[in-house]
Structure 1
Amino acid sequence: MSLPPLERYLQALLETLAMVGVSAVIAIGAGLLLAIVLNVTGPRGVYARPRLHKGLSVTVNICRAIPFIILLVALLPVTRAIVGTTLGTWAAVVPLAANLIPFYARIAQVSLNEVDAGLVEAARAMGCKRWHIVRHVLLPEALPGIIGGMTVSVIAMVNASAMAGAVGAGGLGDLAIRYGYERYETRVMFEVIVILIALVSLLQFAGEWLARRTDHRG
């Protein structure tokens, strides 16, 4: 990769944004759906199913306990089957999304569980259907926490993408390893760190702003 410095950094940043962006859409969508299922099938949920809830909860805990680097290697056959390769930016999407789905599901579930039970009971007393309770009570009330969880998850995904870059996924992590570490160019590593700090700070600011905008509780 013999690119001028500016193009090199820009390409690495775009690769990281692509990895994180696509993975985030998949992980947040699947994680939120899983969180809703965990909430509504719980003991006090609108679709109480204790056995299903327990099985899903145990599965989520097991998946969360697997370190990302181990998951990255374990999913190589799955990644190859889906993407056609185990190297490159798009190959990193599969393990990144798989790693963040249970992580985000737990965060979103906590936000859903914190919704005032009185609101749910009031909606039930008014004759609302169970799906309407989820759509019009649980999700709107939990939205600030759900967005806050998205922010935490996307930032965690940025960190994981840097780790994926160390094993051939491209992006800023790959740039830091190949040009900073292997070639002893300390300046490159420092500049990549600065870019990552700026990116994380921007994501944190945007997430906090959006959470405040959606919080109608005062």
Structure 2
Amino acid sequence: MGLLSPTMQDLLLEAAWQTLLMVGASAAIAVVLGLPLALLLLLTMPGGLAANALVHRPLGLVVNAVRSTPFIILMVAIVPFTRMVAGTSIGTNAAIVPLALAATAFIVRLFENALREVDRGVIEAARAMGATRLQIVTKVLVPEAMPGLVAAVTVTLVSLVGYSAMAGAIGGGGLGDLGIRFGYQRFMPEVMAIVVAILILFVQGLQSLGDRLVRRLSRR
């Protein structure tokens, strides 16, 4: 940090905060939307507790379509939607919209895989004891899959750090924007190096915290 002017240090701190805001807000939205959607995919799949192809197939297609779209293209493609939701298509608040959409599609499949790993025998035992679908979901599926769900959130958070950096390419703010405007366009390699170092620290911190929570939940 001593290599940078006080003004640049302030910009760096502001950019780091913007990155944390983008990652945190979009991850929260993704978890809130992703878990119900993952449960819906699981329950309506063939052989599921509420098998329904009319729900499962279209939902799966939409999730796969969003997941398969490169993030930088997704950001540009949904600019009208972003402007409608956030009131603008540039800045940190605007970047949260495509970040949340991409993260939701990403985490839905991870959540679904974690839920599928729950022992089928446990579910059948709950059904044999007269548990309702809601009870099976809230008392069996989600608690049993919790380590996998936390691992999925960790992977999503790490991915969002990278996505948030890409958001800077079209004025999304955050460390990516700072690195592009100053580190690349103004030929300030020290800024780029510090931005990369901070992003690596973010990723390492998130991964370590997530792994610790997974180990703790697995022991329980």
* 1:43 CA displacement: 1.7
Deviation track 1:30-74 (CA, whole Å, cap 9, x = no partner) reads: 111111100111122211112311221122111111111111011
Equivalent residue in structure 2 for 1:87, among 84, 87, 90: 90
Letter in 1 for 2:25: V
2:144 to 141, 146, 157: 141
How far is the alpha carbon of 1:8 from its aligned partner? 1.5
- Using structure 2 for the length normalisation, give the TM-score: 0.95
In the aligned structure 2, how far is the partner of 1:45 from the partner of 1:3? 59
In the alignment, is residue 4 of structure 1 matched against residue 7 of structure 2? yes
Amino acid in the other structure paired with 1:28: V
Read off the aligned partner of 1:170 and give its amino acid letter.
Answer: G
The secondary structure found in structure 1 opposite 2:90 is coil
Structure 1 range deviating more: 52-61 or 153-162: 52-61
Question: Partner residue of 2:172?
Answer: 169
Matched, 1:112 2:115: yes
Which of 28, 32, 35 aligns to 2:35? It is 32
Moved more, 50-59 or 134-143: 50-59
Residue of structure 1 equivalent to 2:102: 99
Aligned equivalents of 2:75 and 2:66: distance in 1? 13
Matches within 5 A, 1:63-78: 63-78=66-81
Q: Counterparts of 2:94 and 2:213 in 1: how far apart (Å)? A: 30
* Residues 61-89 of structure 1: CA deviation (Å, up to 9, x unaligned): 11111111111011111111111111110
Q: How many residues align?
A: 216
CA–CA separation in structure 1 for the residues paired with 2:9 and 2:188: 15
Structure 1 residues 22 and 61, CA, compared in 2 at 3 Å: closer, same or farther?
A: same
Q: Which amino acid aligns with 2:36?
A: L
Q: Which residues of structure 1 form unaligned runs of 5+?
A: none
CA distances 1:112-166 after superposition (whole Å, capped 9, x unpaired): 0111110000000000011000001000111101100000001111100000012
Q: CA deviation at 1:189?
A: 0.6
Scaled by the length of structure 1, the TM-score of the pair is 0.96
Query: Using the alignment, how far apart are the partners of 1:134 and 1:77 within structure 2?
Result: 37
Counterparts of 2:184 and 2:76 in 1: how far apart (Å)? 22
Query: How big is the alpha-carbon RMSD for the aligned residues of Structure 1 and Structure 2?
Result: 1.3
- Describe the SS at the equivalent of 1:184: coil
Whole-angstrom distance in 1 between the partners of 2:163 and 2:17: 16
Percent identity over paired residues: 49
> Of 194, 197, 218, which aligns to 1:194?
197
Q: Given the alignment of the two structures, is residue 203 of structure 1 paired with residue 206 of structure 2, yes or no?
A: yes
Superposed counterparts of 1:33-52, under 5 Å: 33-52=36-55
Look up the SS of the partner of 1:48 in the other structure. Answer: coil
